[in-house]
């Protein structure tokens, strides 16, 4: 188990959030993950780290893996134009992860709490949720109420939006 994943499990344990871990080979896309989590209850997260044109604001967007997001329209809805995907270097700097391991848990590594988190409201209507523990060789399955509890303590700005 990676140090990144252990850090996530330690926080979940500290917050008394029950979870189940599904270990699998490294995956880099939602499509690759499907074969390993088939039949696992809950919404599967798609996680995107975006940045504004100046690179001084970063946005972690979490939505169901089956949804598509129009980045331009999303930017308009939050009052930010010219959004683009963050580079590999920015993934490391702001979330402490590499491509394929991005998840809501990345905010654990965002000591400045300057990554703004946006979660699709549809995710919060699910009973269970599945996401990586900052490591693409495992998936964490837990109740959505646990996500809310985690976000309440993370210190980052969090908004629930319709995507």
Q: Which of 131, 150, 149, 151 is nearest to 141 (CA)?
A: 131
For 83-136, write each residue's pLDDT tens digit.
999 999 999 999 999 988 999 999 999 999 999 999 999 999 999 999 999 999
Full-model pTM: 0.92
Q: Could you tell me the CA-to-CA distances from 18 to 22, 45, 109, 127, 139 in Å, in that order?
A: 14, 18, 21, 13, 14
For 128-159, write each residue's pLDDT tens digit.
999 999 999 999 999 999 999 999 999 999 99
Structural domains of the chain, with CATH:
3-161 (3.90.960.10)
State percent of the chain over pLDDT 90: 80
Burial class (CB in 10 A: 0-12, 13-18, 19+), 39: exposed
Q: Which of 46, 50, 73 is nearest to 60 (CA)?
A: 50
Alpha helices in 20-105, H assignment, sequence order: 30-37, 71-77, 88-95
pLDDT surpassing 80 at residue 28: no
Contact 118, 10 (CB under 8 A): no
pLDDT band at 34 (very low <50, low <70, confident <90, very high): confident
């Amino acid at each position: 188990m990676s140090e990144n994943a252990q850090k996530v499990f330690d926080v979940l344990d500290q917050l008394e959030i029950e979870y189940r871990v599904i270990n699998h080979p490294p995956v880099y896309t939602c499509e690759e993950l499907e074969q390993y989590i088939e039949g696992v209850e809950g919404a599967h997260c798609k996680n995107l780290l975006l940045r504004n044109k100046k690179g001084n604001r970063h946005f972690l967007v979490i939505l169901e893996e089956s949804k598509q997001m129009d980045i331009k329209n999303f930017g308009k809805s939050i009052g930010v134009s010219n959004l683009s995907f963050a580079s590999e270097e920015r993934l490391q700097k702001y979330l402490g992860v590499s491509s394929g391991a991005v998840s809501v848990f990345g905010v654990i590594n965002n000591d400045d709490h300057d990554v703004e988190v946006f979660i699709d409201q549809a995710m919060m209507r699910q009973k269970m949720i599945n996401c990586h523990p900052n490591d693409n060789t495992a998936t964490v399955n837990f109740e959505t109420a646990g996500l809310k509890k985690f976000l309440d303590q993370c210190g980052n700005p969090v908004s629930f939006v319709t995507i």
